[in-house]
Amino acid sequence: MAKRRSPPPAGVPEWVVTYGDLMSLLLCFFILLAAFSELKKPKEYQDIIDAIQEAFGVNGGDSRIQDMLDLASSPNMDPDGKRQKIDKEKSKSDTNAKSTVGIDQTTSTLFDGRKWTVGKPLPFGAAALELTDENKDILRDIIAPRIHGSDKMFLVLGHSWGPDDRAGGLDFVDLAYKRARVVQDYLIDECEVEPNALSLWVAGATQPLKLGTVTEQGAANRRVEVFMTDTPLTELRPDALGTGRSD
C-alpha cells in the first residue's frame, strides 16, 4: 500500500514571496530605463529624481540633470536655485516657437568657415611698406600659383606692431592696410592674379605672433598673410570674372 503524502504547510511558500519581490523590482527597473531613455523634459525628470531621493532619504551630491545649458553650473548650487534654473531653461523639445524673420534677411557674416595659410607670412621692416626680394619670390613662386585656377576666395591680411612701426607717422591700422594693399597690388599687377579673387583685410596690432622682447615682437608681428578660404568665389560674386553673365 502506497504511503500517503503529508499535506503542504498552510500559507504562501517563502520562495513565492522572494520571486514576487524580484519581479516587482525588475518591473520598476525597466520602467525607469524606458522613462530615462530620452531626457527631453528636464523639469519633469528632475521632479522624478527629487521624489526618489525623498523616498529613499538620499542626501549629498547633486542629482541635477546635466544638459547643455547646465554644464557650467556650480555643483554645490542650492536646491531652490537649482529648481529655478531648470524651470527657466527649456530643452529644444519644449520650444515650438519659430524665429522672427527680419526685414533684411541677408547674412552679414562672410568667411566664417575654415581658412588656410598660403605660403608663409611676409615680413616687413619697421614702418616699412616696401616688399623685400624674399617677399616677392614667395608671392611669385608660391602664393600666386596657388591662387591661379582656384575657385576660392583668398584673404590678404595686414599686420603692424610696436613703437618702431609708429615711427613713420602712421597708426597701426593705416600701416597694416597699406602693407596688405602693397601685397595685393603686387599679386594683381606682377603676378596677374584675378582681382576679384582677393579680399583685403586689416588686423593692425591685434594679432601678434610673439610677445617676447621688442626685437622679436617686431620681426614676427610686422607681416602680411595670405589665406585661402573654403568659400567659393562664385558664391560671393556670381559674375566674378566680369563677363556679364549671371549663370
102 in any annotated domain: no
**Are 231 and 124 part of one and the same domain?**
yes
95 in any annotated domain: no
**Are 72 and 124 part of one and the same domain?**
no
pLDDT digits over 127-163, tens only?
999 999 999 999 999 999 999 988 899 999 999 988 8
172 in any annotated domain: yes
Give the pLDDT score at 36. Answer: 72
Positive or negative torsion for Cα 43, 47, 53, 56: negative
Split at pLDDT 50, 70, 90, the class of 230 is: confident
Final residue belonging to a domain, choices 86, 105, 133: 86
Per the structure, the count of domains in the chain is 2
What percentage of residues in the chain have a pLDDT greater than 90? Answer: 33
Split at pLDDT 50, 70, 90, the class of 224 is: very high
Give the pLDDT score at 98. Answer: 54
- 204 near 176, Cβ under 8 Å? yes
> What's the CATH number where 185 sits?
3.30.1330.60
**Are 24 and 134 part of one and the same domain?**
no
104 in any annotated domain: no
Give the pLDDT score at 145. Answer: 94
Split at pLDDT 50, 70, 90, the class of 92 is: very low
**Are 74 and 155 part of one and the same domain?**
no
106 in any annotated domain: no
**Are 122 and 231 part of one and the same domain?**
yes
**Are 119 and 210 part of one and the same domain?**
yes
DSSP 195: G
- 175 near 219, Cβ under 8 Å? no
Residue 218: domain span: 115-236
Q: Cα 93 to chain center, whole Å?
A: 23
Best CA proximity match to 158, nearest among 114, 112, 111, 222: 222
User: Looking at residues 204-218, what average pLDDT do you find?
Assistant: 75
Final residue belonging to a domain, choices 65, 86, 107: 86
CA distance linking residue 247 with residue 72, whole number of Å:
49
Instruction: Please say if the pLDDT value at position 247 is more than 50.
Output: no
Split at pLDDT 50, 70, 90, the class of 100 is: low
Give the pLDDT score at 14. Answer: 81
C-alpha cell at 37: 531613455
Give the pLDDT score at 179. Answer: 95
Give the pLDDT score at 182. Answer: 96
10 in any annotated domain: no
**Are 72 and 129 part of one and the same domain?**
no
What percentage of residues in the chain have a pLDDT greater than 70? Answer: 65
**Are 36 and 121 part of one and the same domain?**
no
**Are 129 and 229 part of one and the same domain?**
yes
pLDDT digits over 33-71, tens only?
887 776 566 677 778 788 887 777 655 554 444 444 444
pLDDT digits over 151-204, tens only?
899 999 999 988 888 888 899 999 999 999 999 999 999 999 999 899 999 999
Average model confidence (pLDDT) for the chain? Answer: 76
100 in any annotated domain: no
Give the pLDDT score at 15. Answer: 84
**Are 81 and 143 part of one and the same domain?**
no
Split at pLDDT 50, 70, 90, the class of 113 is: low
**Are 151 and 62 part of one and the same domain?**
no
What residue type is 52 in one-letter code?
Answer: I
Give the pLDDT score at 192. Answer: 94
187 in any annotated domain: yes
**Are 76 and 125 part of one and the same domain?**
no
- 189 near 243, Cβ under 8 Å? no
